[in-house]
Amino acid sequence: MPMTVSPQLAIAALLLASIANAQTLTSNVPYAEPAVERQVLDIYAPAGAKGLPVVFWIHGGGWQGGDKTAVALKPKVFNDRGFVFVSINHRLLPNVDMATLIGDCGQALGWVHRHIADHGGDPNRMFVMGHSSGGQLAALLCTDDRHLRAAGVPFTALLGCVPVDGDTYDIPAMIMTHEFRQQLHGLSLPEMGHRQIFGNAPKKHVEYSAVTHVAKGKGIPPFLILHVAGQPDVTAQARRLANVLKAADVPVTVFGKRETSHGKLNDDLGIPDDPATQALYAFVDQIVAAKR
């Protein structure tokens, strides 16, 4: 005979499930002193969190837009899997230069390393992730140790890096690709392309490229590089970064998702049957299991 459950037990089970999935959100926490309007972050934590691994998320928007609230399913699914999720804002071009923008991301990571234990996170088990321009910034933070040193964050605190569909891990290569394509078709060069965004100085283009800073023995964390499989530029940039990481003996996985788009790849992260989500979970779960 099928077992019947009393209404009281059913309600109790629902309450327990609700408590188990409860989430606390601490919004607009300043990470600089004094902090300007966009130097703030949001912290999503499971109820009763203590010593959990941390996801540090940088939004996309072409370095000129975007917001920390554009996180779709990610805070909930990561909280449900036992992570604290942090989403940051940074100042934007053209109000500040690229160096200042990158510095904001470093400052935010430093604040999280110093204070996330107060919100249930483990400051020595952090994943740095980001979408689009945030992917470039995430990859740079996880390869250029100057930003980590300035923020007081050791490479040993980083468990992994997940840039999502970035196109500027090698900025000189991307500039050459775009400009040659325009010239080949007799078209004018863009007035606000990557050359201008990154300072219109070749030295800066090299400096702001993650591939520049990859080297053996630095303690660079493992990478999972997610990208749209049908887009040639992001595919080439993903493979370029992966090859440099492999040459430096840094563990790296590249996953290209088919039949998707730049925005959809990011927004679908957290859907159970999404292939990129499954690759992401496999990456973080394996590392966390080894670093308990």
DSSP reduced 3-state for 49: coil
Domain shared by 235 and 91, yes or no: yes
Q: Looking at residue 173, what is its pLDDT? A: 95
Q: Are residues 190 and 238 in the same domain?
A: no
What pLDDT, on the 0 to 100 scale, is given for residue 19? 40
Task: Please indicate, yes or no, whether residues 40 and 156 belong to a single structural domain of this protein.
Answer: yes
19 and 12 in contact (C-beta within 8 Å)?
no
pTM of the model: 0.91
Span 190-240, pLDDT tens digits: 777 888 888 888 999 999 999 999 999 999 999 999 999 989 999 999 999
* 126 and 245 both lie in a single domain: yes
Residues 6+ apart with CB under 8 A from 31: 39, 40, 41, 88, 107, 108, 110, 111, 112
The confidence score (pLDDT) of residue 189 equals 82
- Do 37 and 78 share a structural domain? yes
Same-domain pairing of 185 and 155? no
Q: What integer pLDDT is reported at residue 199 of this predicted model?
A: 84
Phi, psi of 68 (to 5 degrees): -65, -15
Tell me which residue range forms the domain holding 176.
Answer: 172-208
Q: Are residues 117 and 256 in the same domain?
A: yes
Note the helical H segments in the chain.
Answer: 7-20, 74-80, 98-115, 133-141, 145-151, 171-184, 194-197, 202-207, 210-213, 232-247, 262-267, 275-290
Residue 147 CB neighbour total at 10 angstroms = 21
CATH number, domain of 245, equals 3.40.50.1820
Amino acid at 254: V
In terms of domains, do 177 and 57 share one? no
Q: Angle at the Cα of 45 (from 66 to 17), degrees rounded to 5? A: 120
Report yes or no on 8 lying in a domain.
no
For 69-101, write each residue's pLDDT tens digit: 999 999 999 999 999 999 999 999 999 999 999
Question: What's the structural domain count of the chain?
Answer: 2
pLDDT value of position 171: 97
Query: Measured between alpha carbons, how far is residue 148 from residues 83, 160, 163, 257, 271 in Å?
Result: 22, 14, 17, 31, 32
Query: Is the same domain home to 164 and 131?
Result: yes
**Ranges of the chain whose pLDDT falls below 70:** 1-21
Amino acid at 269: L
The answer on 133 and 164 residing in a single domain is yes
How many angstroms separate the CA atoms of 69 and 196, rounded?
27
